[in-house]
Chain A
Amino acid sequence: MHELSIAMALLEVAGEEAQRHGSARVVAIHARVGPLSGVMAEALTGAYELAREGTAFEGCRLVVEQTDITGKCTTCDAVRGVVAAQDLRCAACGEVIREILTGRELELTAMEVES
């Protein structure tokens, strides 16, 4: 259950950013999670609810955006989606994708704050 460690790391980074932006209270945290990040969005949301208890983030929402796996397809000469995480081939032509461009994200992207 490493999502709890991840949720705590998320709050740590969010806390630093809130301080940097001089915000009194964070209302919502927006995160981006890719299918190849090793983190399940649902588990992260559950862990987040535990991690925020008793912190300055109590009552702060977590909004998770799930990204898709995309990569450079040499046959299409374009950025394409893949068939699945279990099948890294171009969804358009079936060529094997060796260069993954998105899908590994585990990022804090934005925060909704009270100024």
Chain B
Amino acid sequence: MNESAAGSQTRMVQVRQNVLKHNDLIARVLREKFCGAGVFVVSLVSSPGAGKTAFLEKLLGMLRERGMRVAALVGDLATENDAVRLARSGAPVKQIITGTVCHLEAQMVEDAISRAEWQLAELDVLFIENVGNLVCPASYDLGEALRMVLLSVTEGEDKPLKYPSIFNTADVAVVTKMDLAAAAGCDVGLLTRNIHQVRPGMEVIETSARTHAGLEKIAELLARRRTLVK
């Protein structure tokens, strides 16, 4: 027992609760729902302008051509611009407008899915494009099976060292805009070493939405990881 300033008795109670336990609980329910429906859920995180939307637009188109049933949720602070761009691929897309919130939370994903009225069992892969932000999304589980962190060659090789948490919570790193690597003077070897310094052993895939380079490898990765989950 301690004496507080007011003179009343105080005691310590041990609690041990995750601060984000409400988010984690919703994420757990979502994950079970996704597994039950047999849909592989992939989230995409990156800084603003790294090329998530361009990458995803091309990837959705390619996967659809191969007969895969894909859909996407896309988060932004404002505007439906990204949803409009992604919808050009022909895939079902739903925008999540977060307002002032700089990241997606599990509740927003749950709400968007119910608003979209998608039959999850009729999807093979569902992508969730997070708000462009390398800090906040690291803390929030969205129920995804795979978290992809994207990084463009124009951002500087030391980005992973500046944002270790997001790279450390990701499962796969995707280097984007490889067609600009030479022009930007990007040392992709150094970039990859920096990724491995904050997340040893993480798979790194080099891509270009413009030339479609590396998209085949992404398709292979999705097929491989999906089998692992099933």
Contacts and interface: CB of A to CB of B under 8 A. Distances in A.
Nearest to B164: A85
Interface string A1-24: 110011001101110010001010
Contact of B10 (A12, A86, A104, A112): A112
Contact of A6 (B4, B15, B139, B199): B139
A23 B200 contact: no
Interface stretch (B19-27, B66-74, B145-153, B222-230): B19-27
Interface stretch (B51-59, B120-128, B165-173, B176-184): B165-173
Contacts, number: 115
Nearest to A111: B13
B19 A36 contact: no
B11 A38 contact: no
B139 A109 contact: no
Nearest to A38: B138
Given A38-B138, A38-B165, A108 B198 contact: no
Interface string B207-229: 00000000000000000000000
A55 interface: no
A2 B168 contact: no
A96 interface: yes
A6 B22 CA distance: 11
B205 interface: no
Contacts of B14: 109-110
19 contacts: A2-B101, A5-B103, A5-B105, A6-B20, A6-B139, A13-B17, A14-B15, A106-B139, A107-B16, A107-B18, A108-B17, A109-B15, A110-B14, A111-B13, A111-B15, A112-B2, A112-B12, A113-B13, A114-B8
Interface of B: 2, 4, 8-23, 101-103, 105, 135-139, 161, 164-166, 168-169, 197-201
